[in-house]
Structure 1
């Protein structure tokens, strides 16, 4: 149990997909101008990442390995991710049309979010069991959402700050993202005595 908890903390904080692995930077820079859109994108990505990792693990173990079709791994994983994104897009459109409009093009782009595919590939490459893969994907998605919300809050504050013209916009956002990554490096000692 302790190993699972440490693995989840590590996936969420220490080896964060955004700040340590640099996966999923497109929505990180594109959707984080407001906290509500960042939270919505985080929730959608959490669902897609967790469910697709679960389905990808199943496909890998019961289809690809069973029939020696490992060379089709990326194609099948993308197909599973795309199906999951389409399902979540339909649900969000029905449940919250305003969130659907705010997320705009970034919602269908979860299909090409390298963080989702990256987590699924990490689960398979680490040869995790079914429960461990679900927990790892969920913790990675929570870490993704946490960083998205924190960064959105920082970007909302940046709008009010006096930033030199040379640094306004994307440059200051990238500087803040690098400082956030350095702050998350402080979690690297968790679990060691």
Structure 2
């Protein structure tokens, strides 16, 4: 299997950022009550992840590394992420106002979502080239989208049946669902690696 395809599949399955590395839990807990909103958040995070990974790869490899200022990568990455989220907010407010209102506080929180920053940090730690970074970012974004969609679908189903004990309602049941789904995704562990 070509390396890029292997990285793409691993980022979705066995190295899923939400299910393996437990990243991006704030929106996972807050926005996964409704499947449509969860999918919208997943797509929004995917947009930000892909855009920021491309921009951050260019800045890191074409500016920071040649000038010996790699130590500034955290600051630069966060500024790029903030600008991308601001762009996304403006687009959603203009063209999808209902989705914009449904996200509430969780849309600006994409800026501090560790999923977005982790893609850029993994890119630097693993010395990915541009194409590999793009493939990894897209796979990771799709994996996170799948995770939040699965959780939202299960939460909607549980809401219909009303079978969740009172002490587990809310974040408790979400973490249990995530644990069970993570166990299922572990089955892909021997197939591919990042």
State the TM bucket, normalised to the shorter chain. Answer: over 0.9
- Separation in 2 of the partners of 1:74 and 1:164? 42
Cα offsets for 1:72-92 (capped at 9, x unmatched): 110000000001111111111
Q: Aligned ranges for residues 1-193 of structure 1 at < 5 Å?
A: 2-161=2-161, 162-191=163-192
Task: Tell me the TM-score normalized by structure 1.
Answer: 0.96
- Separation in 2 of the partners of 1:153 and 1:26? 17
Cα offsets for 1:68-113 (capped at 9, x unmatched): 1111110000000001111111111111000000011111110000
Task: Tell me the TM-score normalized by structure 2.
Answer: 0.95
Aligned residues: 192
Extract unaligned runs of 5+ from structure 2. none
Q: Classify 1:163/1:6 alpha carbon distance in 2 versus 1 (closer, same or farther; 3 Å).
A: same
Deviates more, 1:165-174 or 1:102-111: 165-174
Deviation at 1:169, TM superposition (A): 2.5
Extract unaligned runs of 5+ from structure 1. none
- Separation in 1 of the partners of 2:168 and 2:23? 24
Cα offsets for 1:109-160 (capped at 9, x unmatched): 1000001000110011110111110111011000010111111001111112
Higher relative contact order (CA 8 A, sep 6+): 2
- Separation in 1 of the partners of 2:86 and 2:192? 38
Q: What is the DSSP-based 3-state SS (H/G/I as helix, E as strand, rest coil) of the residue aligned with 1:52?
A: helix
Give the alignment's Cα RMSD to 1 decimal: 1.3
Q: What is the DSSP-based 3-state SS (H/G/I as helix, E as strand, rest coil) of the residue aligned with 1:14?
A: coil
